[in-house]
Structure 1
Amino acid sequence: MIKRLHIRNYAIIEHLDIDFAKGLTIITGETGAGKSILLGALGLIMGDRADTKSLYNQEEKCVIEGIFDLNGQDLSEFFAENDLDNETEVVVRRELTPSGKSRAFVNDSPVTLKVLQDLSAELIDLHQQFDTLDIHNLSFQLRMIDALAGNKERLLQYRNVYKEFSANQRRLDELLRRNEQSTKEMDFIQFQLEEFNKAELVAGELEALEEEHTRLTHAEDIKRTLGLAFDALTENEQSIVGQMQSLGNALITIGKYAPKLAEYSDRFANMIFELREMSNEFEKVAEHTEYDPERIQEVQQRLDLIYRLLKKHTVVTVEDLLAIQTNLEQQLAGFADLGNEIGALREKISTQQEQLYRWADELGDRRQAVIPDYEQKVVDMLTQLAMPYAQLKIETKKLEALSPTGLDEIQFMFAANRGSRLQQIKDVASGGELSRLALVTKSLVASSIPLPTLIFDEIDSGISGDVALKMGNILRQLSNEHQVVTITHSPQVASKADRHYFVFKVDKPDRTVTNVRLLSNEDRIRAIAVMLSQSPPSDSALENAKELLGL
């Protein structure tokens, strides 16, 4: 419930504090005194759009602050979702600067207007005479029936699964779209992969093939040159190794006379050994080197294949091609996984859908069970409020597909007068009739809807006398379970207050401002008497006021 409303620098309010309590709070005042301004200020902390034109002093910021007691109301999930401190007392503040900048806070944490709107929807039900009233709204009508049917927990369970079900359906649609689009892509990837698989590429083979190709195409030159080198080194009569051997022997001889020359003799011997080894290698290579046109063709074909793949995929190494092949394999595996995911998701959606249909039928049965009694009670109460021919019929229609609330569409059909055709509420009810209907419908479900505070703005418009008195009794009864705040022009309604505030204007030298004061019992007598007659009130009006107040 709301405990206090603080207003500073708003419209014609310079500074104002109003304390609220449990039960029924009535706000009255002269026409134009600023009662609607209080609701405008309240609307700001409920997330309404702000306008710098509403600043009392254009040089200072406007501050609207509401303090709410959440005792007995669990909003822990809301606070957790919005990263807010979960306190039993919540301070909601809205600030508007002269530059037009608007800021909102919940327990001093900055929040968006959307958060304010969502929070206020949990705290306050604001009924304004000239608003598009929520009773017109089909979803609100269904909400009232669900409240009467005790569907809260079942509906929460249904919505949680429906939310996941809807997300799964969107995911399935996306997967099917991707699967359809990817068929051609998958065929192309399969074609490329088959080309790679046939190629059987091996890391490092390009360099080896190029080297082999060069060697094979120059085999005759290699064989001839190595043969000449072998012959020159060791085979002919004047071989290089033979000559060096003779020189080596001579070095050994003179080494006897000059010991320092012995190391040259050793080095020379090593050179002869290396040349002999080299000659042997030349011989072996020359013997195994043959011109092989068939092998040259095989190597050239293999190189052509690799070069073509390199050009096709715009890379430079076989390793790059192997990486592309691996990527294609992974993509193809991904398509296979997509098919598996589609199958699993379809099965899950089917299970959820079956469960949701079963729950939706249960919700519908419970709704149908409470509708007849609710219709009759509304008609009975409207009869008490001088609408003896009023009719209310709640039509239900089965939807073709599951919705967030099940399979039911509920619509209130209303007729205010004898012989009138039942129509949608927005098409038939006048202001006064709509006010009475809204009060009756809400009062009958008040104990089932978790709204701690109900605010009615001129809900008694268009009624008076005994009807207004009965409306006051309904508001009074409603306040036994909810905090009710009512702005009224009706003395009969005002007489039912637990706390009565009077809104009035004060003329200052430079401008007029709005103020509010809590009325004492004596003040209430006079205020209600004025509402009954005139100012100053007549003696009979004062007596009537006392009678209304039970004094």
Structure 2
Amino acid sequence: MLTTLSIKNYALIDELHVTFDNGFSIITGETGAGKSILLGALGLVLGKRADSSTLKQKDKKCVVEAEFRISNYQLESLFKDENLDFEEYTIIRREILPSGKSRAFINDTPTTLGVLNKLSERLIDVHSQHQTLELANSDFQFELLDALAENRSQLDSYKKGLDLYKKQSKTLSDLLEAQAVDKEQYEYNLYLFNELESANLKYGEQELVEKQLVVLNNSESIKENLSELQQISDNEEYGLINMLNLFKTKLQKLADYSFEYESLYTRAESLEIELKDVSAEIESENEKVVFNPAEIDRLNDRLQLIYDLYKKHGVDTIEALHVIHETLSDKVDVVENSSKRIAEKRGELNDTTLKLQKLSDSLSSRRNNEIPKLTKQLESILASLGMGNAKFKIELSRSTSFLANGKDNIELQFSANKGASFGMLKKVASGGELSRIMLAVKLVLSKYIKLPTIIFDEIDTGVSGEIAHRMGVLMQEMSENMQVMSISHLPQIASKGRTHFKVYKTEDKGVVRTQLKKLEKDERVLEIAEMLGGKNISDSALTHAKELLN
């Protein structure tokens, strides 16, 4: 329940602090006194957006702080999920800075408006006049019916399943679309892939082929030179090996005379060994060199293939062609394997669809079972509010697709008078009837949804006299299970509150301020008498006010 509300520098409020009791509280005041300002300030801590225009003094920040007692409302898991400290007396604070920026805190921990909204849905229900129009909203009608059917856990499961269903449907759709697009390119990509695959290019192959062609294209000249070198080396009379052998023999004769001659002989001997090795290698190379036109043609074709692939793919290295080959392989695989992936995703979607179908069937069955009970309760409450002939007709029709709340479409129709045809609420119900219907709906909801606090902002619009008295009695009944506050202009309702607050304006040196005070017993008598008869309070108004309070 809401225990305290503190407001600083908001609209016409300098500073205000109020403590609320449990049970039924009344807030009254003249039109324009600032009742809406209180609700506006409370809306800030409930997650509503604001800007610097709400500041009374533009150079100072606005602070709104509300304390809630929350120990009995199973909110521990919500606090844990949002990494917040759970405390029996939880304080929500909102600050609006002169710059227009705002900050929000829960138990002094910074938080977001999203978290405030999520928490406020579990703490307080503010019913304003325009909210009566929600009666015609299908989501609100489902909320009412599902509360009676105790569908909360099944609805949570359904909504999680619906999120998964939408994601899986999107994935499958994307795969099918990609497959269609890829198939258009598949044949061409496969041709390019097979061309590179069959080419079987090796790293460094271009340079190797070019070197081999240089040798083959010059094979006659190379063989001629190698043969001449072999002749120069191996000629029996004038060959290098023979001459070096003679040169070495002469040095050997001198080797015994000094170390220097011996060293020269050793070096000559090394030259002979190296020359013989070079000569043998020349002979071997000469034997390898063969003029081979067929091999030249083969290598030229291979080199031309490499150049053609470079040109086709706009690259200049075999390494780049390997990258393109891998990319083409991936594209071909996507198409060739997409059918398998699509089958897998379609199977997953079918499983989710079956589960959603079972959940939606269960939700629909439970709702249909509760419709007679709901209409009976609403009609009984309305009878006590002077609408004895009011009748409701709630019909569910099945949709072919999964909707936000299942596969049901809901239609709530109303008839206020005996023999009158049913119609949509906003078309056949008057303002006063809509107020009473909304009160009946909230009374039913309060029995099934454990909400700490509900605030009615002039729900008594369009009623008076005995009907207003009965509405006050019903709000008293609601307050036995929850904290109820009512902003009202009717003395019949104001007299039913356990506590009574008055909103009023003061003016000092041209500065208007909104104030709030808790009325004592005698002050309540005067306030209700004024509500009955105006500023000039008569004895009969005082007597009537005392009777209402008693």
TM-score (norm 2): 0.94
Contact 1:127 1:133 in 2 (8 A): no
User: Residue 349 of structure 1 aligns to which amino acid in structure 2?
Assistant: L
Match of 1:72 in 2: 72
Q: Distance in 2 between matches of 1:56 and 1:209?
A: 87
Contact 1:144 1:449 in 2 (8 A): no
**Structure 2 matches for 1:324-343, cutoff 5 A?**
324-343=324-343
Contact 1:142 1:409 in 2 (8 A): no
User: Residue 273 of structure 2 aligns to which amino acid in structure 1?
Assistant: F
Match of 2:193 in 1: 193
**Structure 2 matches for 1:132-151, cutoff 5 A?**
133-151=133-151
Match of 2:209 in 1: 209
Match of 1:383 in 2: 383
* CA-to-aligned-CA distance 1:427-451 (integer Å, 9 cap, x gap): 3333222111100011112121243
Q: Distance in 1 between matches of 2:106 and 2:186?
A: 53
Match of 1:455 in 2: 455
Q: Distance in 2 between matches of 1:436 and 1:132?
A: 10
**Structure 2 matches for 1:363-442, cutoff 5 A?**
363-442=363-442
Q: Distance in 1 between matches of 2:303 and 2:83?
A: 64
Q: Distance in 2 between matches of 1:89 and 1:134?
A: 32
* CA-to-aligned-CA distance 1:469-518 (integer Å, 9 cap, x gap): 11011101111222111101112211221221122222323422121111
The alpha-carbon distance between structure 1 residues 82 and 339, as it changes in their structure 2 partners (threshold 3 A), is farther
**Structure 2 matches for 1:484-495, cutoff 5 A?**
484-495=484-495
Q: Distance in 2 between matches of 1:107 and 1:188?
A: 65
Q: Distance in 1 between matches of 2:80 and 2:304?
A: 66
Q: Distance in 2 between matches of 1:316 and 1:507?
A: 87
Match of 1:362 in 2: 362
Match of 2:318 in 1: 318
Contact 1:147 1:449 in 2 (8 A): yes
Q: CA deviation at 1:81?
A: 5.2
Report SS of the residue matched to 1:537. coil
Q: Distance in 2 between matches of 1:152 and 1:358?
A: 16
Match of 2:540 in 1: 540
- Select between 443-452 and 486-495 the one with higher mean Cα deviation: 443-452
User: Residue 121 of structure 1 aligns to which amino acid in structure 2?
Assistant: E
Q: Distance in 2 between matches of 1:335 and 1:3?
A: 65
Q: CA deviation at 1:420?
A: 4.2
Q: Distance in 1 between matches of 2:253 and 2:337?
A: 85
- Select between 383-392 and 30-39 the one with higher mean Cα deviation: 383-392
Q: Distance in 2 between matches of 1:98 and 1:54?
A: 10
* CA-to-aligned-CA distance 1:414-469 (integer Å, 9 cap, x gap): 23345544222223333222111100011112121243211101111222221111
The alpha-carbon distance between structure 1 residues 410 and 61, as it changes in their structure 2 partners (threshold 3 A), is same
The alpha-carbon distance between structure 1 residues 229 and 411, as it changes in their structure 2 partners (threshold 3 A), is same
Report SS of the residue matched to 1:507. strand
Contact 2:132 2:438 in 1 (8 A): no
User: Residue 430 of structure 2 aligns to which amino acid in structure 1?
Assistant: S
Q: CA deviation at 1:383?
A: 2.3
2:291 matches 1:291: yes
Match of 2:179 in 1: 179
- Select between 166-175 and 324-333 the one with higher mean Cα deviation: 324-333
Report SS of the residue matched to 2:71. coil
* CA-to-aligned-CA distance 1:375-419 (integer Å, 9 cap, x gap): 122222222212233332223222121112111111221233455
Q: CA deviation at 1:77?
A: 5.1
Contact 2:9 2:60 in 1 (8 A): yes
Match of 1:100 in 2: 100
The alpha-carbon distance between structure 1 residues 330 and 530, as it changes in their structure 2 partners (threshold 3 A), is same
Q: Distance in 2 between matches of 1:443 and 1:187?
A: 69
Q: Distance in 2 between matches of 1:70 and 1:335?
A: 57
The alpha-carbon distance between structure 1 residues 169 and 500, as it changes in their structure 2 partners (threshold 3 A), is same
Q: CA deviation at 1:246?
A: 1.3
Q: Distance in 1 between matches of 2:451 and 2:335?
A: 51
- Select between 418-427 and 445-454 the one with higher mean Cα deviation: 418-427
Q: Distance in 1 between matches of 2:88 and 2:11?
A: 31
**Structure 2 matches for 1:453-492, cutoff 5 A?**
453-492=453-492
The alpha-carbon distance between structure 1 residues 385 and 154, as it changes in their structure 2 partners (threshold 3 A), is same
Contact 1:129 1:431 in 2 (8 A): no
User: Residue 494 of structure 1 aligns to which amino acid in structure 2?
Assistant: A
- Identical columns (%): 37
Q: Distance in 2 between matches of 1:167 and 1:75?
A: 30
Q: Distance in 2 between matches of 1:526 and 1:383?
A: 32
User: Residue 439 of structure 2 aligns to which amino acid in structure 1?
Assistant: L
Q: Distance in 2 between matches of 1:173 and 1:250?
A: 95
Paired positions, count: 550
Gaps of 5+ in 2: none
Match of 2:162 in 1: 162
